[in-house]
Chains A and B, each alone.
Chain A
Amino acid sequence: MATLNQRLINDGLFAGNALVIVQVGIWMLVLAVVGGAALAVTAAFAVFFAQGTAYYLRSELYGKIQSFSFANFDQFRTGNLMVRLNTDIVNVANAVQYMVILLLYAPFMLIVAYGLVILRTPELLWVLIVITLVVVAVMALLVPQIFKNYDLRQKRLDALNNTLQENLAGVRVVKAFVREDLEIEKFSMRSEAMRQPAFGAAFRVAMLNPILTAIAQLGIALAIWAGGTRIIDQTGFTVGSLVTFMQYVSLVITPLALLAIVVPFLLRGDASAERILEIVDAEPRVKDVSDAATLDSKAVEGRVVFDNVSFSFQRPDGKLDPPVIRNINLVIEPGQRVGILGATGAGKTALVNLIPRFYDVTDGKVTIDGVDVRDIPQENLRQIVGIALQEAVLFQGDVRFNLKFAAPEAPDITMEEAARAADSFGFVTNLPEQWDAPVARRGYNFSGGQRQRLSMSRTLTAEPRVLILDDSTSALDVATESRVQGAIPGFTNNVTTIYIAQRISAVIDLDKILLMENGEIVAEGAHEELLAANKLYQEIYESQLGGGLTANLEVSA
């Protein structure tokens, strides 16, 4: 291009040849279009690779997360994983995109510029080198600073967002104590704290443009002086060559400026890639053994035995926390209804989580019908063991989709009967769309009590052989709770059932009640036995249903 320029000036203009000028002009246009097309192809490649990478990572990373067990999720919180799935993937994709452009474009431009200068105007090569060095030096000075400030800005932004998040979550507390002013002060402080690094980064980024422009212009002035003196000294250097060289200068500035834009993206992408790899390299904690044998899920009787079981949570570094379950020996007969009572942190949930292998035991073994749960494939095991969790999570979709979530092939009649047993039939059929009624993300359009009942219905629809209800009636009033508990046995037909509860009223009429404290079963028996013999049980009874005796006496009197 610039060479043509030289021809245009030397052969056309100074020779006074109009035809050459037009010819050269047309050639330049053709070259420009070819160059543009090449750039467009580069862009297409870049986008294709970048978005392809993003798609691949989204799919792989999410797939990996799906293979995780509970322990993995304890280590990587949802927010943490979401950052990797969103921001980090976008960062890597950006890095790939700019990398491809840079690799295809910048070296090419630089080589062409340097090559042309060496071939055509070697006298001025040093000017080009000086310009390159100055640009590199300025970048080396500014880019780390921009980075540091930008990083600090993001950290302060996180702090600001945390303040906002906490304010929103605790809005009732703020309003109750009328501390809006304090909140505003806190927020303003964080917002001001963010301003400084934000300024530091923004200012330096904004400076880049005038600096690069000025370097280019100064470089041209330098070239004119260096080239001009040669012309004056009549070394054979021509005005045409000089004008051409001026164009080479801009040829070098563009890729160097591009480098300035791209380097931060590359660094950020690199940091993100590391964080993604952390997830990819994580191993699922619970794995099937190679010779796992499938049980016939319909024929399982449901005899659950804990044989000297202990369990500790494992920290990410592999060390064990103090045990939350200690030497538990327990036999639950087929069809038995067992209640586990205890305070928060007593180990109730940890205990039942061992049955469907959400975690593996640290010591001892859990068996179903005599088979160690670790020898049953997880898929099969979780078909046998159904659990309605403490936190009733629903998914976006409709009611039917949610109720059949654990058993997509279940007939509608089973779903409806299950809904009846868990007391959700009534409110679902009162909805205008009934079973097709939309469920919002996480089930936000249903109340806490409704979500719990739907969650229980979902577990029942899959017709498990061992049913665990993990405090899943906590949001219900005692009357509804007792109605649900009364209806479940009718639906499940001789299924081993384990209820976890904080309220004594939820376990009072079960076959057996286990009282847990500090990871141990401290008492075991039916309500009457425990009430007669166990001091702790009496205490709980007194505190929760206290005065039941007196009240009754007064009533009957």
Chain B
Amino acid sequence: MTTATTDDTYPSLRKKLEERSRPAPAPDQKDDTMQVIGRLTGYMTGKENRTKFIIALILRLTGTVALIAIPFFTGQAIDVLSTTGPTRDALMSPVLAAVGAAVIYLVLSIIAERMFSGLATSGLAKLQQDLFAHMQTLSLSFFDRQPVGQLMSRVTNDTETVALFYESAVSQMIRAIFQILLIIVVMVVVDWRLTLVALMMVPVMLFVTAVIQRISTPAFSRLQEQIGDVSGFQEETIAGNKVIISSRRHAWAEEQNDELSGFVYETANHAFFTALLQFPVTQVLTVFMTVLVLVIGSLMVLGGNLEFGIVVAFTGYVGLLASPLSDIANLTATTLNAVGGGRRVFAIMDEEPTVVDAPDAADFEFKGGHVDFEHVDFSYVPGRKILKDNTFEATPGQKIGICGPTGAGKSTIINILTRYYDIDSGRILIDGQDISELTQESLRKQIGVVLQEAFLFSDTVMNNLKYAREGATDEECIAAAKQANAHEFIENLPQGYDTVMAERGSNLSQGQRQMITIARAMVANPKLMILDEATSNVDTRTEKLIQEGLNRLMEDKTSFVIAHRLSTIRDSAKILVVNGGEIVEQGTHDELMAEHGFYYTLYMSQFKGKAPGGEQSGDASFIST
């Protein structure tokens, strides 16, 4: 392992590792473990599955009774053979009984397993679907809070640990418990003295198992974290490979990787070895049990207190006891993992949407598209205002341009006008209706949004267009594509409108993707439009086509255009100039230019003194983040 490097350490990581090496403080989460287990199993054994579950339980119980009867019959057979002058007929009946019991056990168990597996997989499907459906109700603030990758891996990994619990732990746990309880009952009935002898080892076994768990469980969770560190580091450096290559830092990356992998190696050795110890320990203790039963049993037989067949039957019982005991030990780990996963899954499911419809929310009624912002304040994080006291008006059919430096709060307008976020104070009125008193659905259906990043689903072009409105026909979509200037190139794709978009639409150029998103917005046929710098990064000719499409889309609609490139909003009926969350100027292009204020400076800075006429841009205090 490498030692700490001098000037280029990896500070926060090192700190994290140091924190890890300290024993973790006892988490006070233990109290809800049973609750989480109950909630998880609820998905398997919920109302509609109750009967199925109970039938499976009964089958399992009956099967286990049959299994436990087998040593009894084999014991009988041995007794027959131990008598002087045994006959085939006398031997036949216990042997046949044992065979019959084994067959009954096999058949019932398979049916029960089938039912349990069915319950397990449908329970998981239900959990996945409930989780996803709930996530769809959450507001944008939830999704903005964490990177997609992080949320993604959380959801997928956590549901997989739950899947393992459903598919193996639940039914095996039930089987193990049944088996142990039944065997103990039978043993007591057959001979309680020998039962005590056999069970003497059980507390020892449970104790040893508990000790192993106590060591291995935290080791495994530490291992998980360390593996997370390694793969996080690898992911980051591989995704950022261009920077590593251009900065020539391969040696550093390899060194870091080796060091982090070294931690994994040490912890994994420790964790896996401890966990594997369970196996020999259980074996040894089972032999101890058997030996105790045999020795003490035999001595009792010698003393005339016992028949030898019972001793043989007891060795059989002990053998049947061993595997469920070690199963329980193994399943505890699976269960605890699932509890961890389940806890995080339920945390998402218990998350409340931050934007909710008011109880008496009305549907939005479109009356031309008059938009009023009245003293609107907004912040993503309490105390850090993004918009301050914004007041402006858009009359029906007007094009409103919004510009300002990076981070001034331009894009925030989309988030609050569509109610992805609720505002802190003030009011937003559309056609005289306060949007906070409207249903989100009716509002969003009337507001079209074309975003900077042209997001398409990996589906056919046609389905991407139809996405905009339930029930849209092929003809409507094609008509929209024509309006958006997209029809021609779509027809030229290998399968025309049935061409499947590669991941995130990468088999199309950026401009083409943008045109499809414009056509999509046309299919929705909204009454108001918001465009977020929709025309960056394309060549001039494509841009012209896009601009044409956009103009058709915005025709006669109240629309908001957020622009970096000022030429896109020159013809706006009104331009809002935003700086530091405040609207510092508003008016037409010509008015603002004549004012020689902030907009003028912003506009002239594009020319860097090369503007025709040689005007120099003045200094303005940009509030950029």
Contact = CB atoms under 8 A, between A and B. Distances in A.
Interface string B266-287: 0011001100110111011001
Interface stretch (B97-105, B368-376, B475-483): B97-105
Interface string B183-221: 000000000000000000000000000000000000000
Given A66-B244, A202-B121, A207 B455 contact: no
Interface stretch (B34-42, B125-133, B380-388, B491-499): B125-133
Interface stretch (A115-123, A314-322, A380-388): A380-388
B258 interface: yes
Contact of A55 (B124, B239, B261, B404): B261
A24 B298 CA distance: 11
Interface stretch (A174-182, A266-274, A302-310, A363-371): A174-182
Nearest to B92: A225
B287 A67 contact: no
Contacts of A188: 129, 132
B608 A508 contact: yes
A549 B287 CA distance: 97
A177 B469 contact: yes
A24 B615 CA distance: 108
Contacts of A324: none
A160 B128 contact: yes
B161 interface: no
B254 A62 contact: yes
B379 interface: no
A547 B613 CA distance: 13
Interface stretch (B25-33, B149-157, B343-351): B149-157
A217 B105 contact: yes
B625 to A, nearest CB: 6
A55 B74 CA distance: 51
Nearest to B243: A393
Contacts of B489: none
Contacts of B457: 166, 170
A188 B132 CA distance: 9
Contacts of B602: 477-479
Nearest to B229: A396
Contact of B593 (A183, A441, A555): A555
B237 to A, nearest CB: 7
B430 to A, nearest CB: 16
Contact of A231 (B13, B86, B247): B86
A165 B248 contact: no
Given A25-B294, A447-B625, A172 B148 contact: no
Interface string A101-138: 00000000000000000000000000000000000000
A274 to B, nearest CB: 20
Interface stretch (B43-51, B333-341, B552-560, B563-571): B563-571
A284 to B, nearest CB: 10
Nearest to A64: B254
Interface stretch (A77-85, A288-296, A329-337): A77-85
A250 B603 CA distance: 87
Contact of B276 (A47, A210, A344): A47
Contacts, number: 487
A547 B290 CA distance: 97
B291 A28 contact: yes
A395 B240 CA distance: 8
Interface string A27-40: 01101110111111
Contacts of A13: 298, 301-302, 308
A180 B140 CA distance: 13
B137 A70 contact: no
Contacts of A551: 570, 589-590, 593, 603
A436 B78 CA distance: 79
A278 interface: no
Contact of B78 (A160, A211, A242, A540): A242
B549 to A, nearest CB: 15
B141 to A, nearest CB: 11
B553 to A, nearest CB: 14
B405 interface: yes
B148 A178 contact: no
B449 A343 contact: no
Interface in B608-625: 608-613, 615, 620, 622, 624-625
Given A22-B295, A217-B105, A479-B605, A548 B234 contact: no
A429 interface: no
Contacts of B287: 1, 28-29, 31-32, 35-36
A413 interface: no
Interface residues of A, number: 179
Contacts of A517: 539
Contacts of A47: 268-269, 272-273, 276
Contact of B265 (A54, A205, A447, A546): A54
B254 A66 contact: yes
Given A47-B272, A210-B63, A229 B88 contact: yes
B3 interface: no
A39 B602 CA distance: 77
A217 B128 contact: no
| Interface bin, chain B | 35 or more
B261 A383 contact: no
A408 interface: yes
Interface in A527-557: 527-528, 536, 539-540, 543-549, 551-556
Contacts of B105: 210, 213-214, 217
Nearest to B94: A224
Given A195-B125, A203-B113, A479-B602, A450 B625 contact: yes
B416 to A, nearest CB: 13
A540 B234 contact: no
Given A232-B88, A477-B405, A509 B11 contact: no
B265 A21 contact: no
Contact of A224 (B95, B230, B281, B404): B95
Interface in A375-419: 378-379, 382-383, 386-387, 389, 391, 393, 395-398, 401, 404-406, 408-409
B156 A161 contact: yes
Interface string B437-459: 00011001101110100010110
Interface string B307-345: 010001000000100000000000000000000000000
Given A401-B10, A409-B7, A527 B605 contact: no
A36 B278 CA distance: 10
Contacts of B319: 250
Contact of B607 (A169, A548, A553): A548
Contacts of B238: 65, 73, 78, 81-82
A548 B168 contact: no
Interface in A191-213: 191-192, 194-195, 198-199, 202-203, 205-207, 209-211, 213
A180 B138 CA distance: 10
A509 B625 CA distance: 26
A123 B299 CA distance: 30
B455 A177 contact: no
B280 A36 contact: yes
A237 B244 CA distance: 76
A243 B312 CA distance: 8
B191 to A, nearest CB: 16
B484 interface: no
A40 B208 CA distance: 14
Interface in A1-35: 1, 5, 8-9, 12-13, 16, 18, 21-22, 24-25, 28-29, 31-33, 35
A482 interface: yes
Given A66-B253, A401-B9, 8 more contacts: A21-B298, A43-B277, A62-B234, A182-B467, A210-B110, A405-B243, A478-B606, A517-B539
The 9 A-B residue pairs whose C-beta atoms are closest, nearest first, are: A343-B539, A36-B284, A210-B109, A39-B280, A32-B287, A25-B295, A406-B247, A43-B276, A393-B240
14 contacts: A21-B299, A39-B280, A62-B234, A183-B132, A184-B133, A209-B172, A221-B98, A225-B95, A232-B86, A382-B248, A438-B12, A476-B624, A477-B564, A548-B612
